[in-house]
Structures are given as C-alpha cells and as structure tokens.
Copies of this chain bind each other. A is one copy, B any other.
Amino acid sequence: MRGAEALMRTLVDAGVDTCFMNPGTSEMHFVAALDRVPEMRGVLALFEGVATGAADGYARIAGGPAAVLLHLGPGLGNGLANLHNARRAAVPVVNVVGDHATYHARFDAQLQSDIETVARNVSPWVRRVGSTAEVGADVAAAVAASLGPPGQVATLIVPADLTWSDGGAPAEPVRPAPRPAVDTSVVEGVARVLRSGEPVGLLLGGGALGEAGLRAAQRVAAATGAQLLAETFPTRMERGAGLVEPTRVSYIAEFATMQLASLRHLVLVDAKAPVSFFAYPGTPSELTPPGCERHELAGPTHDAAAVLEQLAEALDAPAAAAPAGGGRPERPSGALTAQSLAESLGALLPEGAIVSDEALTSGLFAPAATADGPRHSWLTLTGGAIGQGLPVATGAAVAAPERPVVALEADGSALYTIQALWTHAREGLDVTTVVCNNRSYSVLNMELDRVGVDEQPGPRARAMLDLHRPDIDFVDVAQGLGVPATRATTADELVVQLERALAEPGPHLIDAIVPPVV
C-alpha cells in the first residue's frame, strides 16, 4: 500500500474523516488516495487560511479533529494565522504538510523552505515522517497528540516520495492521554474561598462553557453569591434559553478593570487570568485589581465541567432554576445600526444555531440581544488573528449539517479569507453570512485614539484605517464566488433578508450597511 493511502486509512480509522485541503504537487498522492478511501471527505478551499480555520471550526463543533492538507512552507504560511487562532482555541487539528521528496530537499528548489520552524510557532507537536513504513504510526501519533489534553495543532510533515512509495500500512488508533483528576484538596480550597464571604469571581473558559459546566457553575454561584465571568474570547460557549450567561470579560481593558474591580478572589476554571489584549501607554497589562488572589480550579488538561460539578457537590449546592431571562428582542424597524442589527439576529436566531462571531465593533450588542433566544453555540475569535470567522463557520457547518450557521462578520475581517464563500457554495453549507459593513477598520480607529497618539491623528493615518475609496460591494463579491447575496440598508430590510436566508438551505450573504459604532 502506498504511503498516501496508509496515511488516509489511519486518519479514518482514528475517526478523522474530514480533510480541508489546498493541495499542490507534493500532495497529489494524498489527493489521489481519496478515491481509494471513500470514508474520507475532502473539502477544497481556495486559500489555506480557509482550510485551517475550517478545521478549527469543525473541531469546536464536532469535538474531535479534522485534518488539514497544506502545500509546503508557503502553504503553511498562508494557513498560519488561523492555526494561531486554533492554538489559542485549544482545539485538536491534524495538520498534514506535504514536502519535497526526501532526496530532492538538498537541491534547494524554488519551494524549499524550513517547514518545521514555521510550524513550531503554532504546533507544539511537530514530526517529519522518516519512511513509508512509519507513515501509519506517525499519523496515529499525530491524531492522539492533537487530542492532548489539551487539544492542539499537531503537524505532520510528509515528504512526497514517502506518499508515493509502497510499503505503508494503516496503524491502529493511539488512545489519547486521559484527563488528569483535580486533587480534592484543590476543590476544597476553592470551596473555602467561596464560603469566606469575600467577593469571588468564577472565570470560566474552555470546557467550562459547555452546558454541563454552565449548569454546575450556576449552582455554585446561586449557593455562594460568586460572580460568574467568562473569558473574553471563548472557543465555544453554549447560550440561550435555560442557560446561565456568565459576563464575558470586556476586550476593552478599562471596562474589564471595572468588571473585576470589586473582586477579592478570582477562581480560574480552564481560563487564564485576564490580561489586556494589547498594551497601552500608562495602562497595566494585568486586569485583576491589586490584592485579588487567584486560585486555579481547573486548567486546560482537566475536565472543567466535571471539576465544577465536584465543586458544586463540595458546597452542597442545590440544583438551580433556569434563569428567568429578559426574552427575545422584537424585530427592529428603522435605521440599520449595530444595535438594530443585533436585535434582528436576536429576534430571528433559530433553535440550535451556531454563531461564528467576528463582527468586532459592529457585533458589540449581538451577545446581549441573543442571550435569551433559543439554545445555540457561540464561537469567537480566540487568537485575535482576524480572518477567522468565515472559515470557522465553514468548518462548523461541515461538522453539523443539520444546524444553521450564522457568520457575523466585520467587513475588514471578512476580506482576509473571503475565499471561504466559495467553499460555502460548493459544499452547499447552510451558512448565513452577515457582513457588518461599516467601511472601516473601525476597531483600529478606536485603537488609534487609545494608544496615546496625543496629537490629533491626521488624515493620512485615518486613510490607512478606512475601507472606502472604493466602497466594497460584498453582494458582488459573494455572487462572484457563488453565494446568493443581498444588501440591507435598513433594519426592516435586514429582518426580511435574514429571515429568508435562514429559512432557505444553503449559503447566503447579507451586506449590512451600518455606521461605525466608534
């Protein structure tokens, strides 16, 4: 059996049956193997950042890894930003990078580069396959490594000759490492803190933001008065009717400092202590108030939900009633603004939806407007590398074809990986993309004012942050890439278009013209 087939069979045997790819010559045998391993679904992306972001989105929803197939160092480079986001999301990704044949490397042909070096930036586990016979075992090891815990990007570099040579054999799946238990004394210590009467915040991240974690956290909060917080950019947060909504720590450091100001203790549940996203002149990087003690209840290797349940038991916390909630917003009418856009989404979000949220400033009001809607999953920009939202929506839709996906996108961010729309069309994915088109890198206009440019920023600086001259017509761009699209300039139009897009299967895009909020 050729190495390529052994590679693909081992993936499938380990449960990895989806591969987002942008292959080149050195990966042609992997591509050819698709016809021998029908269990593997190949999903073509027109740019590598779409493939890597899709693998991230897939893992967030499927709970297990997809594979990515990339073409040498430059392909990996193009996929790097979304692998950075996947690293921050702590999701499993099996990242297969093709390379020149072993004997060809020394000739330093045009595409030769140092793949390992680039991969290490995003992938703690990097291995180069050394022989065709070892392909199977290396793939099985990569899948296990990707699962961690915690989940991570595992990069396997595969020289072309080892895929085309015979002598490969599929390998048995490798059992991933078990999640370690949290010591009872840690749980009891946190329980004592919670009973102390001092102000305590429970900062939930990662695996704590699923249904089980939220229910246990709600019991803890109800029994002790602890404040429930969520990390700023969760990988996946379950939300909606019946679920408690922790307060997400603000991206804006000044607001976050206020949110945390009264806390004497911060309990970390699969979350890092909050730090400023960027540094600003004269502003501290750490956001917790001086004297606030931190206590790690669970880290990324633990089963955060189970540990929260342990904690609830240790506190004898009774089951908590479903939170009352304020109900869904009415369908808005009148001007289209970030607020009415959020209300449209809140009014129409379907049961079981997945929201890929990369709307940045224009999405400011969307979480509040959807909190009391039907149950849904909320996916965010975990690593700050924009261009993640459309690819993550792609992968989420592939992982859960029965769930409607909404990509809530910023105009600037959408353009980094706009090629994702074509994959939406080709695969018939049920993704409704709403581009919040404010014709600006609005977040940067805000940042320009925040970073201490004490003189008034001038027109030449502002010009580097605006996205008009010319205005971008996302209707045209989407239609060019095969996705039906409409433009909304009023809230009424958006409501009609969004309702229709959500009702029809397959991809749609709405170019929602909104004024900047900042």
Binding site for B on A (CB under 8 A): 21, 23-26, 28-29, 31-36, 38, 42, 44, 46-47, 49, 73-75, 77-78, 80-81, 84-85, 88, 100-101, 103-104, 107-111, 113-114, 117-118, 120-122, 160-161, 164, 233, 272, 275-279, 281, 285-286, 382-385, 387, 412, 415-416, 418-419, 422, 425-426, 443-444, 447-448, 451-453, 455, 457-461, 463-465, 467, 469-482
Contact = CB atoms under 8 A, between A and B. Distances in A.
Given A73-B84, A111-B385, A28 B444 contact: yes
Contact of A277 (B34, B111, B471): B111
Contact of A110 (B29, B382, B412, B451): B382
B415 A419 contact: yes
Nearest to A273: B107
A433 to B, nearest CB: 14
Nearest to A38: B460
A110 B448 CA distance: 19
Contact of A463 (B44, B279, B482): B44
A117 B38 CA distance: 38
Contacts of A28: 444, 447-448, 451, 453
Contacts of A24: 444, 447
A447 to B, nearest CB: 4
A26 B278 CA distance: 7
A441 to B, nearest CB: 9
A233 B38 CA distance: 38
B416 A47 contact: yes
A465 B121 CA distance: 29
A114 B124 CA distance: 12
Contacts of A49: 78
A324 B23 CA distance: 44
A72 to B, nearest CB: 8
A5 B104 CA distance: 46
* Copies of chain A in the complex: 2
Nearest to A449: B28
A192 B114 CA distance: 40
A415 B121 contact: no
Given A32-B461, A109-B384, 7 more contacts: A23-B444, A25-B278, A73-B121, A74-B81, A77-B80, A80-B80, A117-B118
A23 B464 contact: yes
A222 B264 CA distance: 87
A78 B387 CA distance: 10
Nearest to A417: B47
B444 A470 contact: no
B74 A35 contact: no
A34 B460 contact: yes
* 4 A-B pairs closest in CB distance: A35-B458, A77-B80, A470-B482, A476-B480
8 contacts: A25-B277, A28-B447, A31-B464, A73-B121, A77-B78, A80-B80, A111-B385, A416-B419
Contact of A117 (B35, B75, B121, B272): B121
A276 to B, nearest CB: 7
Q: Most chain-B Cβ atoms within 10 A of its Cβ — which of A25, A275, A418?
A: A25
A260 to B, nearest CB: 15
Nearest to A85: B74
Contacts of A111: 277-278, 383-385
Contacts of A104: 275-276, 278-279, 285
A468 B148 CA distance: 38
A340 B479 CA distance: 29
B384 A465 contact: no
Contacts of A451: 25, 28-29, 160, 164
Nearest to A414: B46
Given A25-B451, A80-B118, A35 B415 contact: no
A160 B103 CA distance: 44
Contacts of A478: 480
Nearest to A278: B25
A415 B477 contact: no
A308 to B, nearest CB: 24
A38 B455 CA distance: 16
A460 B387 contact: no
B81 A275 contact: no
Contacts of A25: 277-278, 443-444, 447, 451
A309 to B, nearest CB: 29
